[in-house]
Each structure stands twice: as structure tokens, then as C-alpha cells.
Amino acid sequence: MISKVKKGKFYPYGIHVKDNKQLCREKPIELMPAPEIVKISLSQHIGAPAIPVVNVNDCVVIGQLIGKANGAVSANVYSSVCGVVTAIEDISNDLGQKQTYIVIKNNFTDTQKTFDDQVDLSSSQSIIERIKLAGIVGLGGAGFPTAVKLSPKSPLDTLIINGAECEPYLNCDFRLMIEKTQEIYNGIGLVAKALNLSNVIIGIEENKPEAIKAFEKYDDLQVVALKKQYPMGSEKHLIYCTTGRKVPTGKMPFDVGVCVQNIKTMIACYEAVELNLPLTHIVMTVSGRGIVEPKNLKVAIGTPFEDIVNFCGGLKDKTAKLVAGGPMMGKALIGLNQFARKTDSGILALLNEEISFSQPTNCINCATCAKNCPMRLMPMYIESFTLAGDYLNAEKYGAMDCISCGSCAYNCPAKRPLVQSINMAKLKIREMKNNGK
């Protein structure tokens, strides 16, 4: 198959955001030296938390199993430093949700444990087993265990790699695409073998021409140049713009025969299967005008955010907001006392002029939110029903189909917190369904 770069389909809904990626776009990924203490969460994935298999005062090495997957939808957790386990404690995140963390004090030695056997690269089953063993989850942010995603109920025919990276400020996927092109390609090959398919597409936004060029040379990989638009990295829209298939409301990509994977997940799969390395490090972008020196970093899982930010020169005095993730869908932080997880892809420190913090005013029914919504919903109705407590009507107007991308609230002239209301509606509707309504 001649790999000519195809243009992605045009999808008229969504928004244009200033991407501010130039703050660290040209900076190569730096390996951050391991910190003194790491705190590794046992539930960095969707599904049941892992069960600790080490005790306090145990000595561990890099790549040693410290948390075992609990059930089918769960993931293993590995140590990212050599040292001594000093505690196994519960820590709350900024929203008050508690998780169990294993605290390890680094002794700054270099012993690395790898997997013992070689994987039979011709067997899909062995590849999936190794991915499961290595504790790999969706590193794009969702954290769904990859081994489960690679064992769907019905056979698939297309693998789509998400190289869109539509969130502003973040550059980690882009830097990986140009620095580790061959590793990504190898990982893609392994996953395609695991799924027993040969139709592989990689979708890359047009604002990353170097990445498009880097992948052009592979014959069996179709590169699709996507229009720069938010949220082009959303699963359903990526599938539509690369293949033309629409995922029906309420269904998953495997229902249209497609599997979508993130760039970082592909590298992790390659390292696990061919280099026998478990998942111990992640790549993230530290950016925003509130950081003295924005960088793209490879950090050990469990590194404190404070250490990461200090490695980038620290925060400027005028920092107004701290965000974990991208600015459109990331979570705000109240401080830097969180610890790097598998699914973190960014820490942002934003100044006053970059964020918006006006108080909401009346909805003027301008329908800008409805015009921008990529899922074609009516966010102003969902919000007004949610605020009135009428969750049934909120569901009728599409609350459960919302992907929480933030396109509605981005352009709202009344600065209404639409995503907040819709997320609450989703929570309440799920609760109602669980209570058997």
C-alpha cells in the first residue's frame, strides 16, 4: 500500500483555541533525575485498585512489582526507584477522593528488574499477556487497562493511533513522535499483531508537520493529516475524521470495528514486549507562562509535582491557576502536593491573562454552545434542567452523550460553567440508574 498522506475528513463542529504550544515545542524530552521520595498510587487506572504485594521496610528495585492487579479490569503497579518502602498510606486528591499510595524512599542505586522470558512475537496471546503483566493502561489520560481493550468481544478491522494532541500547551506526544518514531512504529506493529489486523491509521494534526513527515516513510501505516481543531483527539471524532465511521450514541469504538490507542501507550507496549521493561516512567509536559522554564520531561511514576516544577525553575509569583493535564479538560489543583501517575500528561501553571475567572451571568440564549458542541447537543438546556434538578430532562437533551470537552463553555459569553453542570448531571443520572430508577 502506497502511504500517501491522506487529508482527514472535515467536521464542522468544534472550536479553535490558541494552542500556546510554542512555549516548549522545540525542547527535547529530558529525563528528570529520580526524586528522594516517590509515592505511587495503587489505582492509576479504571477498575479495581491494585493490591499491595510489598510491606513496609521491604527493599525494592526499579521494575519490581509492588501492586498486583485485582480482577479482570485492573492493572499491575511497579516501583520506579530503588529503595525502601517506608509507608503504605491513604492520600486524598484535591477533590477529596482517597487512594492508597506506596511510599518509597530512594537509595539512588540503579538496579533494574526486567521480565525474564522473551515474548513470542508471532503469538497475539503472548503479546497481550506481556502488556497485561507490564501494567500498561491507556496513557492518553483515560487509564483503561490496555490488555482488556486489546481483547474485544468481536473482531476488529482497524487500529487508529491518536497523534492529534489537540489540547493546548501539551507537546509530549509530538516530541515522542519525532524523537521515538521507530519505537512507536514497533509498538504499533505489536498491537496490530495482537488484534490480528493490518489496517492501521495514524491521525496527526496539521500543526505537527514534522511528525507527519516522520511517519510518512512507513508503507503499511496510513498517515491522515487532521485539520487543527479542538477536539480532534476525541475518540469518536478521530474515528470519524480518519475513517468516516460514526460511533452510535451510547456505543464504543469496538462496535464499529475500531480500536483507538495513544502514542505513549504504543511506546510502553514496545518497551514491555521487546525490551522486557515494565511501566515505570511517563512523559509529560510542564508548561504555561507561570513556569520559569517550560519543559518536556520523562519522570519516574510517583515523583512529587513539587519536585517536577522545581526542576523546571519553579513557579512565578503571579501564577493564578495550576492544572493537571490540558487546560480544556484537565483538573485544577490547589497546590503541588500530588504525585505523578501513569495517566498524567501535563502540569500547567497559568497566569491571570491566560485563564478566565469571571463570575457567570445570565444565559442569553445565543446558542453559541450548541453551535460549537462536537456531539451536537444543546448544552444550555442541559444546564438549565440540571440547575433546576430535573435530571430526566437533562438526560433527554443528551447529558450522557457529552464528552466533557469544554467547547461549549469556552465560547460562552456569559461565562457559565456548562461543563460543571453537565458533569453533575451525568453523576446524578448514573446514580439514579444504579439505584434502579
Partner 1 sequence: MANNKLLTFSSSPHIKNPRTTRQIMMHVCIALLPISIMAVVYFGLPALFIILVSLISAVLAEYIYLLITGKTTKEILAQFDCSSCVTGILIALTLGPKTPLYIPVLASAFAIVVVKMLFGGTGNNLVNPAITGRVFAFMSFTSILANAFVAPSINSLVGGNTFSATTGATTLTGIFTDGNLPTLSNLDLLLGTGLAGCIGETCKVALLIGALYLAIVGIINIGYPILCVVVTGLMTVCLNGFNFEYFLPSILSGGLILGAFFMATDYTTSPNTTLGNIIYFALLGLLTAVLRQATGIETFSFILLLMNITVPLLDKFILPKPFGYKKSKQGGAKK
Do residues 144 and 235 make contact, with C-beta atoms less than 8 angstroms apart?
A: no
Closer residue to partner 1, CB minimum distance, 75 or 348? 348
Nearer to partner 1, 101 or 169 (CB): 169
Nearer to partner 1, 61 or 378 (CB): 378
Using the minimum distance from each CB to partner 1, give the nearer residue, 59 or 367.
367
The CA angle 342-300-146, to the nearest 5 degrees, is 25
In the complex, what is the shortest distance from the CB of residue 373 to partner 1, in angstroms, rounded to a whole number? 9
Integer angstrom CA distances of residue 375 from 53, 235, 238, 261: 43, 12, 13, 21
Among residues 103 and 380, whose Cβ is nearest to partner 1?
Answer: 380
Q: How far is the CB of 335 from partner 1 (least distance, A)?
A: 7
Asked if the peptide bond before residue 231 counts as cis, ω within 30 degrees of 0, the response is yes
Question: Residue 434 CB, nearest distance to partner 1 (Å)?
Answer: 20
Residue nearer to partner 1 on the CB measure, 40 or 363 = 363
Question: Considering the complex, what minimum distance in angstroms separates the CB of residue 116 from partner 1?
Answer: 43
C-alpha grid cell, residue 299: 519522570
136's grid cell: 500498561
Nearer to partner 1 by Cβ, of 268 and 375: the residue is: 375
Give the span between the Cα atoms of 162 and 334, in whole angstroms: 30
Least distance from partner 1 to the Cβ atom of residue 420, Å: 4
Closest CA to 423 of 431, 434, 411, 415: 431
Most distant pair of Cα atoms in the chain: their distance: 64
Considering the complex, state which of residue 189 and residue 325 has its C-beta at the smaller distance from partner 1. Answer: 325
Distance CA 99, CA 333 (A): 16
Q: Nearest to residue 187, comparing CAs of 200, 174, 175? A: 200
Q: In whole angstroms, give the CA distance from residue 131 to residue 146.
A: 7
For residue 192, the minimal CB distance to partner 1 (Å) is 25
| In the complex, minimum distance from the CB of residue 350 to partner 1, in angstroms, rounded to a whole number | 7
User: Please, what is the minimum distance in Å from the beta carbon of residue 433 to partner 1?
Assistant: 15
| Smallest distance from partner 1 to CB 328, Å | 5
Nearer to partner 1, 5 or 320 (CB): 320
For cell 482527514, name the residue: 8
SS3 23: helix
Report the distance separating Cα 281 and Cα 262, nearest Å. 16
Identify each DSSP E strand in 227-280 by its residue range.
258-262
Residue 28 falls in which region: left (phi positive, over 0), alpha (psi -120 to 50) or beta: beta
Least distance (Å) from partner 1 to the CB of residue 43?
A: 21
If phi > 0 it is left, if psi is from -120 to 50 it is alpha, else beta; for residue 302 that is left
For residues 226 and 350, which CB has a smaller minimum distance to partner 1 in the complex?
350
CB of 236 to partner 1, least distance (A): 7
Helix 181-195 / helix 124-133 crossing angle, nearest 10 deg: 120
Alpha carbon distance 428, 437 (integer Å): 11
User: How far apart are the C-alpha atoms of 208 and 175, rounded to whole Å?
Assistant: 10
> Of 117 and 317, which has the nearer Cβ to partner 1?
317
Q: What is the DSSP letter of 134?
A: T
The one-letter code for the residue type at 55 is N
